[in-house]
A and B are shown apart, each in its own frame.
Chain A
Amino acid sequence: MWEKITVIILAALQVFFWNGVRFGEGESEVIIWEGTRSFKPELGIVPPVPRPETVKALSLGDEQFYFRQAAFRLQNAGDTFGRVTSLKNYDYSALYQWWKILDSLDAKSDFTPSLVSYYYGSSQDAKSHVPYVVKYLHEHGASDPERKWWWYSQAVYHAKHRLKDNDLALEIATEMAQKVPKGVAPLWVYQMPAFILEDKGEYKAACDIILNIIDTYNDVTQGEQNFMNHFLEERIGALVANEDKIDKSQFDPRCLFAIEKHKEINALQ
């Protein structure tokens, strides 16, 4: 008899422990016990950033295995347990530290820059968040320009089109054109500063870069030659269209010749 009563009392206590004990409502409510049902796990968006020592300890000597786990975790951060979190709510400063940790574990992999450029780069709050994206992609590209030139160009893309910062884009594009060894990347990688200079209205500098590419890169495929011709025609067309605004005194004679030829062809058509 007493055994059954004891079991019932303990079960009732467990229910009170879970539910809480409170009397009254509103301001006159008296809480004796809060109840465990109201305590839920806190699901953060970006996981806490570990220290380098912690990463070493947790990887147990297999850093690639830890890298893949952490990368997967970061890919799904904020979108677990049925949640969907808008990118504007992420802490990009913490995300940047995560990206750097992932790079320290595996700098060869393209997983992290892909995640940064194609996913985290689309934040709605471009002004606050995209500088982290550009900084990371720039550093990642600079770490190995020969193999990682694509991520360099992605840094230029995000700086130019997402941040609308032509100066920063030009700075990265110029660095990229200098650092990426000749012949390992398509010609547009070396032409990128010219695109940006033209957008900035600096036609002389754009023209010089194109002429430099023509002088330097003789061994190009037919496809790339077609692209260069198309590019030059477009650029020269833009120069002709803005002729009255441009000071041509500093232009290379070959560029001036191309402008005159373009005008003649247009007149004939």
Chain B
Amino acid sequence: MRTTIKYILLTALRDWLFSGLFVALFLAYAVAVFLGGTALVEGEQMAASYIAGSSRLLLVIGLIVFVCFHVRRAFDNREIEVILSRPVSRSSFVIAYWLGFAVVSLILITVLTASIYLFLTVHSSSSLLIWSFSLVLELWLVVAFSLFASLLLRSAVVAVLLSFGFYFISRMLGFFLFVMESPLHQRPDFFSVVTGKLLEAVSAVLPRLDFYSKSEWLVHGVADDVNIMFFVMQTVIYIPFLLWMAIMDFKRRQF
């Protein structure tokens, strides 16, 4: 397992993932600080909010693309077959792969959190820690889905698009629930009923990613413990669920 994790880290270095994402994060950081400096008031809060929101998007996009193309290339180059020729079970292979990507996410977020702590003013160190912890869990969940999609699908592009779809729909689930309860969508016509049921089904199956890493925590602090429990419980349920599905599918695959 340790060898597989090391292999993932090496491939992340080989694919310029760290340098590419660090450069992108540095640029986002510089733009956030510049824009914060031009704000009429609350410049520090504006910079913190910008860096929190933009870095989250950069990391999610970067990791989805990396995971999907990495797994696909490993299939095409027969690297996976080489790994499986050793005494490694398929379930430990999937878990080790996910752990490797999880370590990559952790390294990226540690550097980001340290830079925010050192150079920006946030509400409190504890709110920064909670935000970082939440972002770690969000990335682990996204990585688990990307791994599942790339093991399931034969095209890396489709896996990337599916992962983006999963991420953005999961982030919009709060909006879907808001729309479902809006009086405008309580009409009894066929279309409203069908879309309402569809949205209800989607919101039941997908995780609520809108509970994760809110930049508000860096500006005003975390309001109560309920917020934390929501995203922790969501992660505890959903990551094993995704990994289990990935293992089930991978076990049936013929090489």
Interface residues, chain A, with chain B CB atoms under 8 Å away: 53, 56-57, 60-65, 67-69, 71-72, 75, 106, 108-111, 114-115, 118-119
A65 touches B215 (CB 8 A): yes
Q: In terms of DSSP, what is the predominant structure of the interface of chain A?
A: helix
Q: A60-B171, A61-B209, A61-B210 are in contact. Are A72 and B39 (CB under 8 A)?
A: yes
A65 touches B52 (CB 8 A): yes
Q: Which residues of B are found within 8 Å of A63, using beta-carbon distances?
A: 214, 216
Q: Which residues of A are found within 8 Å of B42, using beta-carbon distances?
A: 109-111, 114
A68 touches B41 (CB 8 A): no
In the complex, whether B45 has a CB less than 8 A from a CB of chain A is yes
- The smallest C-beta distance from A19 to any residue of chain B, in angstroms, reads 37
CB-CB nearest in chain B for A114: B41
- The smallest C-beta distance from B45 to any residue of chain A, in angstroms, reads 7
B39 touches A65 (CB 8 A): no
Q: A61-B173, A106-B216, A111-B45 are in contact. List 10 more A-B contacts (CB 8 A).
A: A61-B210, A62-B213, A62-B214, A62-B216, A64-B52, A64-B219, A68-B215, A72-B38, A75-B40, A109-B45
A sample of 6 inter-chain contacts (CB < 8 A) reads A56-B175, A60-B172, A60-B210, A64-B215, A72-B35, A111-B46
Q: How far, in angstroms, from A84 to B209 measured CA to CA in the complex?
A: 41
Q: Which residues of B are found within 8 Å of A61, using beta-carbon distances?
A: 171-175, 209-212, 214
Interface residues of B in 37-69 (CB under 8 A from A): 38-42, 45-46, 49-50, 52-53, 56
| Cβ 8 A contact of A111, one of B41, B173, B174, B209 | B41
A57 touches B175 (CB 8 A): yes
Q: Which residues of B are found within 8 Å of A53, using beta-carbon distances?
A: 175, 178-179, 182
- The smallest C-beta distance from B131 to any residue of chain A, in angstroms, reads 11
Q: A64-B49, A64-B215 are in contact. Are A118 and B179 (CB under 8 A)?
A: no
B46 touches A62 (CB 8 A): no
Q: A53-B178, A56-B175, A60-B168 are in contact. Are A110 and B41 (CB under 8 A)?
A: yes
B192-226 interface code vs A (CB 8 A; 1 in, 0 out)? 00000000000000000111111110011000000
- The smallest C-beta distance from B77 to any residue of chain A, in angstroms, reads 35
CB-CB nearest in chain B for A106: B216
CB-CB nearest in chain A for B208: A61
| Cβ 8 A contact of B178, one of A56, A72, A119 | A56
B174 touches A64 (CB 8 A): no
- The smallest C-beta distance from B54 to any residue of chain A, in angstroms, reads 8
Q: Which residues of B are found within 8 Å of A115, using beta-carbon distances?
A: 40-41
Q: How far, in angstroms, from A115 to B219 measured CA to CA in the complex?
A: 18
Q: Which residues of A are found within 8 Å of B52, using beta-carbon distances?
A: 62, 64-65
CB-CB nearest in chain B for A53: B179
- The smallest C-beta distance from A264 to any residue of chain B, in angstroms, reads 50
- The smallest C-beta distance from B206 to any residue of chain A, in angstroms, reads 12
Q: How far, in angstroms, from A119 to B40 measured CA to CA in the complex?
A: 9
Q: How far, in angstroms, from A183 to B39 measured CA to CA in the complex?
A: 32
Q: Which of A68, A75, A109: most chain B Cβ within 10 A?
A: A68
Q: Which of A64, A75, A109, A115: most chain B Cβ within 10 A?
A: A64
B219 touches A109 (CB 8 A): yes
Q: Which residues of A are found within 8 Å of B212, using beta-carbon distances?
A: 61
Q: Which residues of B are found within 8 Å of A67, using beta-carbon distances?
A: 49
Q: Which residues of A are found within 8 Å of B210, using beta-carbon distances?
A: 60-62
Q: How far, in angstroms, from A105 to B32 measured CA to CA in the complex?
A: 20
Q: How far, in angstroms, from A119 to B219 measured CA to CA in the complex?
A: 23
Q: A56-B175, A57-B172, A62-B214 are in contact. Are A111 and B40 (CB under 8 A)?
A: yes
Q: Which of A53, A62, A63, A114: most chain B Cβ within 10 A?
A: A62
Q: Which residues of A are found within 8 Å of B214, using beta-carbon distances?
A: 61-64
- The smallest C-beta distance from B187 to any residue of chain A, in angstroms, reads 15
Q: How far, in angstroms, from A106 to B213 measured CA to CA in the complex?
A: 16
Q: Which residues of A are found within 8 Å of B56, using beta-carbon distances?
A: 62
Q: How far, in angstroms, from A106 to B214 measured CA to CA in the complex?
A: 13
Q: How far, in angstroms, from A52 to B53 measured CA to CA in the complex?
A: 20
Q: How far, in angstroms, from A191 to B225 measured CA to CA in the complex?
A: 41
- The smallest C-beta distance from B17 to any residue of chain A, in angstroms, reads 24
Q: How far, in angstroms, from A179 to B171 measured CA to CA in the complex?
A: 39
Q: Which residues of B are found within 8 Å of A109, using beta-carbon distances?
A: 42, 45, 219
Q: Which residues of B are found within 8 Å of A56, using beta-carbon distances?
A: 174-175, 178-179
Q: How far, in angstroms, from A6 to B68 measured CA to CA in the complex?
A: 43
Q: How far, in angstroms, from A56 to B50 measured CA to CA in the complex?
A: 18
Q: How far, in angstroms, from A23 to B104 measured CA to CA in the complex?
A: 65
